[in-house]
Amino acid sequence: MRIVLAGTGSAVGKTTISTGIMKVLSDEMNVQPFKVGPDYIDPSYHSLATKNPPRNLDSFFMNEDQIRSSFVRGLEISKAEIGVIEGVRGLYEGISPTGDVGNTASIAKALNAPVILILNARSLVKSAAAVVLGFKTLDPNVKIEGVILNKVKGKRHYLKAKEAIEKLSNTKVIGGIPRDDDLIVKERHLGLIPALEKERIANNIDKWANVIRENIDLDALKNIAKSNSKVKTDSKTELWTSENKKKTKIAVALDEAFNFYYTENFESLEDNNAKLIYFSPYNDDEIPDVDALYLGGGYPEIFAKELEFNQSMRKSINKFHNNGNPIYGECGGLLYLSKSIDGFKMCDVIPHPSKMTDKVQGLSYVIAKSNKDNLISKKDDIFRGHEFHYTKLQIEKNLLNNVDFALDIQRGRGIINNHDGISIGNTLASYLHIHACSCPNFAHNFTNNIIEL
């Protein structure tokens, strides 16, 4: 069973409705959640709702065979009975105005999955049918088989809009969510500091689930999810390289400040015989006894004061670097490895300060090319990722020529002047977030470089 929950656009209530549906379904079956796109926040809610690890599907990161294999693999690992996929932005919004790469429709087509369209029905009746009809006719290969109306004024409004959609677009309406300003406020505040808000978010998820139970025909949803054939995968498809047999130990920063990771990145490392040991730069005194460090993304800028206060941890990481041990940092990890964040002292492995700004500094899918062998890639390797940050690494102009950048950015911004991936000793740190499927040699190269030291 599988279903795609897609929106007509952003801010139509996808995450609230999708997470509520996942929670309700989880009361009677094992649900594996998926999120279209590179997002980390929505998957964290999905995981709280279903108790299964979050997973992403992205047609910029993955080809169609990888999408299908990753989906099936996720279901098998969780032993799930249904895969529920939350879309990104509008159903057809992707990288280009006319193509499918990066959009929800590409995932639905790759998986031959039915789509339930979520529509903001405020002030719409017959026009709602026109919206649904337009979405259905734009690409007949996308199987829109149900509609959920959000922000309906009341029962009369819902029944009129339902009649219009079902008669004029021949599409079943399976429910309507009433307007609720309380839900809107909570949705706007989602994702600010998810690791600190788990209890509040869990309470909100329970409320969303109650709204879903009262307003969505879940039997109809399940029947739509059943109405498709099995996902066929190519047995030759390899999601990532898994060749290393020698055991290694990698410490992974995971706490309030560092929590942006893809499940598949962990699994690719484990498939290369790495034992992952989780630690907290926020709470622990020093790093564990390991062979390498993996510092992922998150919110170190929010916790800069606390991270500075934990001097023993910062010193242990700096010492680890100076002893020639491998460290890989992504975005938040780059900031923590820098000299400082907004004046608060960090690990000083990257000898440049960083600061928060009022404007987004990088928000893009990224294509990177390695200009040298480094911790995660070989020279001339080309791979994909994404960047999303409001911070800047401040490199003085007179020092710029002395910085060893390992990555040339062909699409995106990077740290500066389309360069990214500062390489110092056995440390590599960048603004680039990679997914194991978009950089299939990441785990193999990382663990192999540990072994060769």
Given a contact cutoff of 8 angstroms between Cβ atoms, the answer to whether 173 and 146 are in contact is yes
Under DSSP, is residue 348 helix (H, G, I), strand (E, B) or coil? coil
CA within 13 Å, CB half, 147: 28
Question: DSSP character for 400?
Answer: G
Are the CB atoms for 47 and 75 separated by under 8 Å? no
Distance CA 266, CA 283 (A): 22
Amino acid at 22: M
Reply yes or no on whether 331 is catalytic. yes
Residues 6+ apart with CB under 8 A from 206: 23
Distance of CA 177 to the CA centre of its chain: 26
- Evaluate whether 201 touches 259 at the Cβ level (below 8 Å): no
In the block, which residue shows the tokens 């094992």? 30
Find out whether 42 and 15 touch, Cβ atoms under 8 Å: yes
Quote the CA–CA distance of 225 and 360 in Å, as a whole number: 38
- Please give the radius of gyration of the chain, using alpha carbons only, rounded to the nearest integer: 23
Among residues 331, 347, 437, 439, which one is catalytic?
331
CA atoms within 13 A on the CB side of 373: 5
Residues 6+ apart with CB under 8 A from 329: 295, 336, 337, 427, 428, 429, 430
Nearest to 107 by CA among 136, 87, 82: 87
Chain center to CA of 61: 11
CA distance 417 to 407: 11
Catalytic residue numbers read: 331
